[in-house]
Chains A and B, each alone.
Chain A
Amino acid sequence: GIQVEQSPPDLILQEGANSTLRCNFSDSVNNLQWFHQNPWGQLINLFYIPSGTKQNGRLSATTVATERYSLLYISSSQTTDSGVYFCAVAPSGGSYIPTFGRGTSLIVHP
């Protein structure tokens, strides 16, 4: 099946810093999502982005499908950004079952 690798596995930031999270995948995809799992365990949708660039406030994401990666940018980080960020991809070619990466654990200190 498709392989999904996220980097870095852990990230510690000071409030106000910027960061870039990466998701690499091993095959062509028909969808890609970024999720934030907050410290209470909720999985929150950030972006549905099989290709291109999207922005939502301080967060933006870019997927370059031909090169098999996606990037999540967090600008001016806040303590509420802490949690785990997951990338999930579904391969093209008929399977609609997403495969999740292991996530990037982010801690933002005040």
Chain B
Amino acid sequence: DAGVIQSPRHEVTEMGQEVTLRCKPISGHNSLFWYRQTMMRGLELLIYFNNNVPIDDSGMPEDRFSAKMPNASFSTLKIQPSEPRDSAVYFCASTQGQGGEQFFGPGTRLTVL
């Protein structure tokens, strides 16, 4: 299996621009998680989907952040407008079944200038 796939791997953008991060979970996995990692705050859960439905989005920082999962094999995390404090590594992870072993993608390193 190809594992969790994320794109782009690196993104540099200017403040105010829209950023879209993409994730393809492992085939057959029905739970998907978006995380953000910074030195200051560590790994933070942003949103959790089960069977394409958002279950917990309490970690989404503010209205500038939105996430969708239109089907079982694709999810997006969008930031509009982006701000320098959004600079971080964003990870996507998936599991088979709730409570299953979690597998992470390689992450997207976002820099907002």
Interface residues of A (CB under 8 A from B): 30-31, 33, 35, 41-43, 45, 48, 86, 88, 90, 96-98, 100, 102-103
Contacts and interface: CB of A to CB of B under 8 A. Distances in A.
Contacts of A97: 33, 45, 48, 56
B91 A48 contact: no
Nearest to B100: A31
Interface stretch (B15-23, B60-68, B76-84, B101-109): B101-109
28 contacts: A30-B99, A31-B100, A31-B101, A33-B101, A33-B102, A35-B104, A41-B106, A42-B104, A42-B106, A42-B107, A43-B91, A43-B93, A43-B107, A45-B101, A45-B102, A86-B43, A88-B102, A90-B99, A96-B50, A97-B33, A97-B45, A97-B48, A97-B56, A98-B33, A98-B45, A100-B42, A100-B43, A102-B42
B75 interface: no
Given A41-B107, A43-B107, A88-B102, 11 more contacts: A31-B100, A33-B101, A42-B107, A43-B104, A45-B104, A48-B101, A86-B43, A96-B99, A97-B48, A100-B42, A102-B42
B84 to A, nearest CB: 20
Interface of A is mostly: strand
Nearest to B44: A100
B72 interface: no
Interface string B37-67: 0000011010010100000100000000000
Nearest to A31: B99
Contacts of B42: 100, 102-103
Nearest to B59: A97
Contacts of A98: 33, 45, 102
A96 B56 CA distance: 10
Contacts of A103: 42
Contacts of A45: 101-104
Contacts of B33: 97-98
